Chains A and B, each alone.
Chain A
Amino acid sequence: MATYPKEMQESIVQVEATRPQRMKARFPRLSLAEQEALLRGFHPDYKEGGKRPLQVGPSQGELVPHEVADLLEAYPLLDPREVDLSKVDYDVDVLVIGGGGAGTVAALWACEAGIPADRILIATKLRHGDSNSMMAQGGIQAADKPHDSPAIHYLDVIGGGHFAGDPKLVRALVQDGPMIIRWHEALGVMYDKGPDGTMITIHGGGTSRKRMHSAKDYTGMEIMRVLRDEARSRGIPVLEFSPAVELLTDVHGQVAGAVLWNLETEEYLIVRAKATVLATGGWGRLHIQGFPTTNHYGATADGLVLAYRVGAKLRDLDSVQYHPTGAAYPEQLVGLLITEKVRGLDAQPVNRDGELFVHPLEPRDVESAAFIRECMPLEQGGRGRGVVTPTGMVGVWLDTPMVDMIHGKGTFQRALSSIWRMYVRFDIDPTREPILVYPSLHYQNGGVAIDENGWTGIPGLFAGGEVEGGVHGKNRLMGNSLLDYNVFGRRAGLAAAAWAKDARVGRLTLAHVKRYVEQLKAAAVPKERRAPLLLPDYRGERVLARMVDLL
């Protein structure tokens, strides 16, 4: 089992030695200029050679990570000439692509707006609810306390995102926040509350008010499973294991549904829809710059690929969010998220020598850059004070025993039960020993450009959740993406319902794909590049080397 090896234990002694004095210490926050310098020096986004400008498509010239460019500049999985569009398998008013949080919310509000449940279809890649939404731990922001306000929330979002967010989207986010939490309350989400019903709220990185609402450290799971249950109560149909591989347009150029692919039977299916909502989530499984990820198995940026081929613009994809605290030990947990709530509950990040080296709750990108600097060897410009594990991973300590010392015995196990369980399985008790962390690829800050109603600018196509961009500028704060998927999932669902009421769909085509293929050819994009990715491939090298397709 995995208690700490000797070298790591020696460092823990240092951590324990400095703890009494750190319990009293307050590390100063960095000025904007200091933050900027740290980001430039150590954040992977600033690393040379990590990105390239797109050569084709509506956002030509935009810088994106190579891993993303390789998918956007790629040929379709299905040859458009081999798809028979005259036989429609599902004919609906609203098609929702993606059965995570945003998709489920969009479907619920389309239903609320008067679209009958059986005229809606959710098509999703894995099971309904298998998504990043299910994994969120820490919480959801909303400015509902008396000393807080949507305006204060606005400043936090816009500043945290380095002033790059779209003001209209930020406003929609903060303004709808309280209403969303109230909707959840009515649906039966078990938020953490005081005896009189007052929400228990804490800080998150970059918040100026304690507005993080939580449901223990299973916030995402609790919200997602309630939304899913409500969708089941309403009888909204869901096609599981049926990812969208292409959007469809009609002869007038509006989006009119999608081609799905049944992952198990390997047949394609045609869905004709008057309105389509894209809710496919993010990109963690692209492992940008080789980072491990916190994301679910299906987070492969498919939505970006589909939307781009149909002419939608993308934005802010040059900025990648690495969560400062991904697990770095034991090996089995590497990459998995250690919620920011642990730092919200006063655990401090400390280096090999037990020294606190950064304020625990700087904005995520700044905090991650500080961790990377601490771990990077001296000869590469870092401080070389990380802790090295037996498998060669490096990380900094998160001093988790502080949580119970400050907030009382039992707090950790109650408020952070998923983290506690995760470590105890591997014989590490985070209430007694610190845990080792290192940044992990976490969130797609940018995405498909939308307006405040979730409209992509392409007739008939709406988007909500992590797949869209503009809400968080260049850096999302914790708790704002659960809010994002609710606010923009809802707005996209309502807008799609309104559009579907008047829309008429003409003959279906894949003309946009054929046009895109011409552009790819003109740009001499290598033939073997195919997208969307659908699922990452983790099969062992030995097997891959000998694999043949015989059946």
Chain B
Amino acid sequence: MLTVYIMGKGYRVPEGLTIMKAMEYAGYRLVRGCGCRGGYCGACATVYRLPGDYRLYADLACQTTVQDGMYIAQLPSTPAERADYQLSQVAPRGEALLALYPELARCVACNTCTRSCPQKLEVMDAVQAALRGDIRQVAELTFDCVQCGLCAMRCPAEIAHYHVWQLARRLCGAYLTPRAQHLARRVAEVESGAFDAELDRLMGMGKDELAKAYQARDIEP
């Protein structure tokens, strides 16, 4: 057993639990601060300190193991405004990000964002790429972002990083990447009814006939 301080109160919990499970073990029925429980949704942003260490750490409660003497506080939500836009009206030019999120220019390159990212992304590099107008690079650097908001809560320049990244990725996906030609062709074929006869035939089959057709499928290597 070890002791953790949840919002200042000490509790004895077994070793090897995640912060999330330790809080539950201690008696918390979580409402906020718990979503996917698997490191994908960013609901469980948590800050903590360790005894004898001045540093403030930031991580996901569902992916971090408790340590003896840990002081834990969860962030129930991140207040951060998202710019108002319609994707179709944003030109995918370099200035787009800065125009909607001018506070990007306040970055002092302190690297706190990078240090507080539980996904270990190069957050500050992404800010710099955004300032240079390199939307593709922003999108690639931030693809694994779970939007937990920890960088935004710690940023002295008060940037709401994850909203910027979201816009960059959508611009990249929609406008900076070629569309799939085979996909466009297939959509047109479906619309023209090219597969209707075959689908009708399959729908009319009894179970035995279907099972035979299923077993006889050729499987792409």
User: Which A residues contact B (CB, under 8 angstroms)?
Assistant: 31-32, 126-127, 129-131, 134-135, 143-147, 149-152, 154-156, 158-159, 163, 167-168, 171, 174-175, 178-179, 181-182, 185-191, 193, 195-199, 203, 208-210, 215-216, 218, 220-222, 225-226, 229-230, 232-233, 241, 263-264, 294, 296-298, 330-332, 336-337, 417-418, 421-422, 425-426, 535, 537-540, 543, 547
Contact = CB atoms under 8 A, between A and B. Distances in A.
Nearest to B15: A331
A179 B187 contact: yes
Contacts of B215: 31-32
A417 B173 contact: no
B87 A233 contact: yes
A350 B211 CA distance: 30
A539 B211 contact: no
A233 B182 contact: no
Contact of B180 (A171, A185, A209): A185
Nearest to A163: B207
Given A126-B43, A155-B213, A188-B169, 17 more contacts: A32-B211, A130-B43, A144-B180, A145-B182, A151-B199, A156-B217, A163-B211, A171-B199, A174-B199, A178-B183, A178-B187, A182-B187, A198-B182, A296-B36, A537-B29, A539-B24, A540-B25
Nearest to A186: B174
Interface stretch (B50-58, B104-112, B140-148): B140-148
A237 to B, nearest CB: 15
Contacts of A159: 210-211, 214, 217
Contact of B37 (A195, A210, A297, A547): A297
B157 interface: no
Contacts of A130: 35-36, 41, 43
Interface string B187-221: 10010000100110011000100110111011110
Nearest to A178: B186
30 contacts: A127-B77, A135-B40, A144-B182, A144-B186, A145-B182, A145-B186, A150-B199, A151-B198, A151-B199, A155-B210, A155-B213, A158-B214, A163-B211, A167-B202, A175-B199, A187-B170, A187-B173, A197-B180, A198-B182, A208-B218, A221-B146, A226-B170, A233-B86, A296-B37, A421-B119, A421-B120, A535-B29, A539-B27, A540-B26, A540-B27
Given A150-B195, A175-B195, A332-B65, A144 B183 contact: yes
Interface in B161-183: 166-167, 169-175, 177-183
